[in-house]
Amino acid sequence: MKPPVHTIALALAGLLTVVTATACTGQGTPLTTRPAGQAATEQSSPARDKRGAFTLLATGDIIPYPSIIQQARTDAGDSGYDFRQILAGVEPLISDADVAICHMETPYAAESGPFTGYPLFRSPPQIAAALRDTGYDSCSTASNHTLDDGFAGVRRTLDALDTAGVRHTGSARTAKEARRPARLSAGGAQLAHLAYTYGTNGIPAPRDKPWAVSMLDPDRVIADARAARRAGADIVIVSLHWGTEWQQAPDTRQLRMARKLTAARSDGERDIDLIIGTHNHVPQPYEKVNGTWVVYGLGDQVASFIPAMYRGNEGSMARFTFTPRPGSDRWTVTRPEYLVSHSDTGPPFRVVRATPQRHREVHARVSEAVLSRGAAKDGLREGR
């Protein structure tokens, strides 16, 4: 099991006025803020000596369709909803990572429901506890379905994640919360997790709450990343809900935005350390762009599409080992890896790791997609 990941509460007043990503309300040790242009951290050599490599694992969309909700009901003995067994097959990989990030695609309803599927999702809030027990530390909540149940759905979702102890970013209950990224720490590094979505299926945010969900604009993302650096983040992770559904190849906007975001520099150092994509439902490639890893799309982690019609039950899990750069306050990805996951419709419905020995065709398809833009030449390998 991994050691606990501690939340770092930041003194962000005046620094994050442009930040639109969110964080949980947990308390921790405040960080020292710095003026713009100053190095990301002001650590002494002894502090550097205490740093060590850590792993970050990110997984794809969690979309509880009615069939999945029914499975959770069955797993709970028809009393409540237990999503832990659905995720048990990948729990060892997730809990073993020092930092694990999910994408919570849908908003939560009240505990008693009603629960609904496409096109307007309302999911059981019991999912939050299962995410915690599986080992997730933070979840992006910015998606095209964030506003499916209006602002009440946003509030219920974040309340449930807070209660479970899972950090979140991409939607907010207050304007103040919308100005704070999710904060985590591992290996002596302080991480900021930000998230954005391309849209909300035409559902507008409440007129008096335009900050309820973080909308994707590259200039805003860069500004937010720089503000997070000034506030003490050593590593900035950005989750993007983007791209074209059911398309394996990244679309033109993804490619263009990836180039712009990874090219952003302050004092010669990158502003963003890793980009994690969701939304497409099918696995998309990994690629190193301007020296920064971009996962265009992870595919789905929990979904129940008909396998004969769609590949929406297949996804990759991205695992990156971050190592402190010698003689510097910065960090570098030294081991990029992917793993293959599959939503096996069963029955019973279970998320499993796909290998050449198990779900051979799924493993081959996902691996082909992940490696389709030449990531192997930059060192990407399948993890163990």
Q: Please give the pLDDT value at position 306.
A: 77
Residue 332 near residue 310 (C-beta atoms within 8 A): no
Q: Please give the pLDDT value at position 350.
A: 97
What's the average model confidence in pLDDT over 49-53? 88
**Paired strand residues for 286:** 295
Q: Please give the pLDDT value at position 67.
A: 96
Question: How many Cβ atoms are within 10 Å of 96's Cβ, its own excluded?
Answer: 14
CA nearest to 161, candidates 130, 201, 191: 130
Q: How far apart are CA 172 and CA 182, in angstroms?
A: 11
Q: Please give the pLDDT value at position 192.
A: 98
How does pLDDT run across 365-377, given as a tens digit for each residue? 999 999 999 999 9
**Paired strand residues for 342:** 314, 352
Is the pLDDT confidence value at 211 over 70? yes
Q: What is the DSSP secondary-structure string of 188-208? A: TEEEEEEEEES--TTPPPPTT
What's the average model confidence in pLDDT over 77-97? 98
Residue tagged 């502003």 (tokens): 271
Q: Please give the pLDDT value at position 46.
A: 52
Give 50's pLDDT tier (boundaries 50, 70, 90): confident
Q: How far apart are CA 198 and CA 221, in angstroms?
A: 12
Tokens of 71: 């499975």
Q: Please give the pLDDT value at position 311.
A: 84
Quick one: what percent of the chain has pLDDT higher than 70?
87
Tokens of 73: 């009901």
Q: What is the DSSP secondary-structure string of 255-267? A: HHHHHHHHH-EET
Residue tagged 């097959």 (tokens): 89
Is the pLDDT confidence value at 170 over 60? yes
How does pLDDT run across 288-316, given as a tens digit for each residue? 999 999 999 999 999 998 777 778 899 99
Q: Please give the pLDDT value at position 47.
A: 62
Q: Please give the pLDDT value at position 2.
A: 61
How does pLDDT run across 336-349, given as a tens digit for each residue? 999 999 999 999 99
207, with CB counted inside 10 A (0-12, 13-18, 19+), is exposed
Q: Give the chain's mean pLDDT.
A: 89
Lowest mean pLDDT among 1-5, 126-130, 157-161: 1-5
Domain ranges of the chain: 49-227+235-382
Q: What CATH topology corresponds to 49-227+235-382?
A: Purple Acid Phosphatase; chain A, domain 2 (3.60.21)
What's the average model confidence in pLDDT over 258-284? 97
Residue 193 C-alpha from the chain's centroid? 8
